[in-house]
Structure 1
């Protein structure tokens, strides 16, 4: 399954036979609120199940960072409760920059479920086109998915540091956080030495939609990525970096590593170095 699905194709799939319809996950979330669950109750894609980033797509914040990977058993339970079944496609959407939907895409792929896509344009595109919305909260038939973690590469701190030295490690945060000019969330400012700043915002999407594979490939080439070179990504807590992994796959570079703990994990250890300024360091 392609990593992206259009609103037209999703509408057609939802209008098809019940047994062939994808499971749709509404993963709207905002760091500063309001809660995505409130938006979901006000209206969502018909049949969509709400999946909370903090409770389903991540474990409790702690030593592993602000959005560490969930325990596989917990993830399996929650995905089954949402109706996710083996062999049945899943579509995720948000109403912001696509990064939370990309986290859901990456997490399902990591869990071994290959049939998953992000709705291109998200909820904004769906409603802008006048497509139907619903306030009804479905009670899905329990799914049967077995979570088998490890289908997508995960980097720990040492592996991220090595990739920054020997390959290409992309920092998806805004430039001001990369340089250390500001750090509004995590313990200390800066970036992993050797990492290259690749802000997601304003670069991988245009007018609410993902850029073409050719455009994305050109951007990553400008950032220094060479064919066959190992590449990975991190951000503040492993959410926005998931969108960089998705963009890399769209650009023809599948299998990029994700430093799931990201800067929220790295910066907790004062023994890990932090570079500042515009250069990788």
Structure 2
């Protein structure tokens, strides 16, 4: 499968025995919406709920960090994932959190292939396609999760990069949070951005129908932000979720030397020792 699959494609494949559909909806802290409740109200037929909010390392003080292999294995098996599964991830969230789910499937080596449903549940529903209600009870799978950290970046990596400038850092948060004009949603967190980084708000990657921009339209986003395609990239955001949207966009343009800073601003902004910048890049 490609990085993105269309609603037409998924509708044709719904009954395929090797297909696993995962709802990766996630909301920012303080949102009144409940992802699990919404899933049980309406989801794509056959889908299971990934529950990104609880799929994280419980021993790490930074929220949302990648979980241990054992936890990821247990969750994926409970969701019916096998080694040969084709996985399609979607969301119904303004954060477009399916990209985080897609990236996690890949870094843990899960399934035969993984894709994001282009347009997600909003486009699916707008087209009048079927949904079902209730909690999902998939047959247990046998997938084994093994984290490959080749594309995962740490705070130490980012500190070194501030000094070297070897990779260009792209931040997916909104412009107000990037510049420091808006407070962070998590209390007591510093505002601003990692020095030297550029800002491409994740919302800019999507069209009115919730589908992702592609080709020249996508490339212009990076060019207008001053992205240098001759250098490797590191993507970041608030908690490693929307950073995956930038990573997916770069891969759609053929750029594969890209890492994602898992801790993102949730780690960097809470640490008084990390350097911080404000204002535009």
Give the TM-score of the pair, scaled to structure 1.
Answer: 0.91
Residue matched to 2:179: 179
158 and 151 in structure 1: CA distance in 2 versus 1, 3 angstrom threshold: closer
The CA distance in 1 between the partners of 2:140 and 2:26, in whole Å, is 24
Residue matched to 2:53: 54
Does the Cα contact within 8 Å between 2:170 and 2:197 map onto a contact in 1? yes
Paired residues, what number? 273
Residues 130-178 of structure 1: per-residue CA shift (max 9 Å, x gap): 1111114332121111112116511111312344522210011111111
Please identify, of 137-146 and 32-41, the stretch whose mean Cα deviation from structure 2 is larger. 137-146
> Secondary structure, in 3 states, of the residue corresponding to 2:89?
strand
Does the Cα contact within 8 Å between 1:54 and 1:60 map onto a contact in 2? no
Residue matched to 1:277: 279
Residues 6-62 of structure 1: per-residue CA shift (max 9 Å, x gap): 11100111144xx24x10111222221321111111111111101111112x23385
Q: What are the equivalent positions in structure 2 for 1:1-281 lying under 5 Å apart?
A: 1-16=1-16, 19-20=17-18, 22-31=19-28, 32-56=31-55, 58-60=56-58, 62-63=60-61, 65-97=62-94, 99-113=96-110, 115-150=113-148, 153-164=151-162, 165-186=165-186, 187-201=189-203, 203-207=204-208, 208-279=210-281
The CA distance in 1 between the partners of 2:193 and 2:80, in whole Å, is 39
Does the Cα contact within 8 Å between 2:195 and 2:275 map onto a contact in 1? yes
Does the Cα contact within 8 Å between 1:192 and 1:275 map onto a contact in 2? yes
Please state how far the C-alpha of 1:248 moved relative to its aligned partner: 1.1
Give the TM-score of the pair, scaled to structure 2.
Answer: 0.91
Does the Cα contact within 8 Å between 2:83 and 2:144 map onto a contact in 1? yes
The CA distance in 2 between the partners of 1:256 and 1:99, in whole Å, is 19
> Secondary structure, in 3 states, of the residue corresponding to 2:88?
strand
Does the Cα contact within 8 Å between 1:180 and 1:277 map onto a contact in 2? yes
Please identify, of 76-85 and 216-225, the stretch whose mean Cα deviation from structure 2 is larger. 216-225
> Secondary structure, in 3 states, of the residue corresponding to 1:99?
coil
Please state how far the C-alpha of 1:263 moved relative to its aligned partner: 0.6
Does the Cα contact within 8 Å between 1:234 and 1:263 map onto a contact in 2? yes
> Secondary structure, in 3 states, of the residue corresponding to 2:25?
coil
Structure 2 unaligned spans of 5+: none
The CA distance in 2 between the partners of 1:159 and 1:94, in whole Å, is 30
Aligned CA-pair RMSD? 1.8
The CA distance in 1 between the partners of 2:94 and 2:185, in whole Å, is 19
The CA distance in 1 between the partners of 2:134 and 2:265, in whole Å, is 38
